Structure 1
């Protein structure tokens, strides 16, 4: 069952693009963060719309009190680094690799992509997290990009 607003962020080990491990409970502790999850790095909607929207609007998020923006995907840290570099994300968005899908599973937001040759991935979603507690969670109902877009999340802040 997916987590919801009011729930604590689960503890899971993920990797930053420098390959360092970090616990998600520590990652979100003591800050206001926006997290958006994508089914896969380098995939069409993720690369053309979802991630670029957050990169382009990073200043708007900071102006609304967001300390950090995170992009999480069930990919390895090497792929996430190459993707962040290709998108020229710089320091605007922190890309996080959930290589084993542990965080995604703990959030209850797995996507069965086996029919497309993708294995288990993350559903597309966005969350506002304050000091480790989920304040807002918007999960896309289908294959599009609506409620988890940068614009949609900004409108909730």
Structure 2
């Protein structure tokens, strides 16, 4: 069963790409006391993720910040891939790039995607959620092959 509105995000360690490089971060400390939009992509450097999903959150980054909301991008990739992708996409400081290398956090959310048919193994479904102090207040999971409800503009509208 996947995470639902009202549920608390799991406290699982992720790898965060930071100013000083890659560092471990507990999900609980990342979300505690903050309003955060967490969006997930099936894979860094993949077409929709690189051409629309992450760029949309980069474009609207300041609009989210103006509402007091932090942004975090999650992918079942290793932290070095996330670091390279962040550099290529010119991700602003403060937009958290999170690597869930083994998919532990994604599985705990119940939002994993079996992409073995594409040679990609376990990945995250495309989704966005809004959490306050680690509690899910909004959840937007895309239908297979869709990119609409997890887009930055759509999520921003839902927070109005």
- TM-score category of the 2 structures, normalised to the smaller one: over 0.9
Q: Distance in 2 between matches of 1:5 and 1:57?
A: 24
RMSD (Å) for aligned C-alpha atoms: 0.8
Instruction: Extract structure 1 runs of 4+ deviating beyond 2 A.
Output: none
Residue 54 of structure 1: aligned partner: 57
The alignment partner of 2:143 has SS state of coil
Matches within 5 A, 1:84-99: 84-99=86-101
Q: Distance in 2 between matches of 1:62 and 1:88?
A: 17
Range 39-48 or range 84-93, more displaced: 84-93
Query: TM (normalized to structure 2)?
Result: 0.95
Query: TM (normalized to structure 1)?
Result: 0.97
Tell me if structure 2 keeps the 8 A contact 1:3–1:107: yes
Q: Distance in 2 between matches of 1:7 and 1:129?
A: 9
Q: Distance in 2 between matches of 1:48 and 1:126?
A: 17
Deviation at 1:69, TM superposition (A): 0.4
Question: Mind listing any 5+ residue stretches in structure 2 that lack a counterpart?
Answer: none
The alignment partner of 2:158 has SS state of coil
